[in-house]
Amino acid sequence: MQRITIGTRGSALARVQTDYVVGRLRLVHPGLDVTIRTFVTQGDRSQATNTPLASFGEKGIFVKELESALLSGEIDAAVHSMKDLAARLPDGLRIVATPKREDVRDVIVGSPLSGLPAGARVGTGSVRRRALLAQLRPDVTLVEIRGNVDTRIRKLHEGQFEAIVLAAAGLNRLGRSAQIAEYLDPEVFTPDPGQGAIAIEARSTDTDASQILRILNDLDTETAVRAERAFLAALGGGCQTPVGAWATISDGVITMRVAVADGAEIRRLIVTGTAGDPERLGTAAAVTIEKG
């Protein structure tokens, strides 16, 4: 395979992530001709209307157009934020590589949580973040926010919010980490499944593309994310489900912290298992936490 076409969204973060993947590809495959194609997704179009993400139900509104292009053969691979992918991929597609994960933590931009007065407006578009924030600071006002990272920070600076919640990974990749006022402890503020990870998706039958892209894979990141996504899939998780899952790997053992919000209650669980079967651990964690 002498050339490859990679699809991406057009947001600044999506392009930075894709440029990172392409840069690494060109280092390890110096003769490879790489073309980037940019797509506008349903999620991108909906941001202008400020429609709450939860109203879409299933995850995937930021990736469906790219997945359709993959299945039709318009592109050979797509680069996504892992947490944007649906828990179950369309038939014929698979994640062929997961580069080394960035920071998994959620962060506060604007003011640390402890510095916010009662009634302060905190912006987030995530039902998981809303549930966790409501437990930590039930006295603040949680307000829906949409848009890319720059748009959200602009709204903060315009005074629409006193603070907003974002992913550390996105800010780091965009060179905006100086904006972070507080890092939230992932043992308490459980991250989204796949947060901080990049997914490289290709057709299941395209062995040439898979071989070229697989060299970018980080095994520990892949294993952790497989456990987290199995947990999400077993719960039937989508945009409406307040679910957190964060797995780490040490000496062949996975330790995964999970959280599921049920009304005002947040059920938490820590599970461990062998790194050789992450899906089994994720599924078992979902069964256990559903039993209460």
110 occurs within a structural domain:
yes
253 occurs within a structural domain:
no
Domains in the chain: how many in total? 1
* pLDDT tens digit sequence for 249-280: 999 999 999 999 988 899 999 999 999 999 99
133 occurs within a structural domain:
yes
284 occurs within a structural domain:
no
The pairing of beta strand 33-39 with beta strand 3-9: parallel
167 occurs within a structural domain:
yes
257 occurs within a structural domain:
no
Q: Which residues fall within 8 angstroms of residue 17, CB to CB, at 6 or more apart?
A: 8, 79, 81, 173, 198
Domain that holds residue 122: 106-183
Find the catalytic residue in 19, 33, 84, 277: 84
Q: What is the CATH number of the domain that holds 128?
A: 3.40.190.10
232 occurs within a structural domain:
no
Q: How confident is the model at residue 172 (pLDDT cuts 50, 70, 90)?
A: very high
| pLDDT at residue number 239 | 55
Q: Would residue 84 show up in a list of annotated catalytic residues for this protein?
A: yes
* pLDDT tens digit sequence for 110-122: 999 999 999 999 9
Query: What distance in Å separates the CA atoms of residue 46 and residue 120, rounded to the nearest whole number?
Result: 26
* pLDDT tens digit sequence for 238-253: 657 799 999 999 999 9
* pLDDT tens digit sequence for 91-138: 999 999 999 999 999 999 999 999 999 999 999 999 999 999 999 999
194 occurs within a structural domain:
no
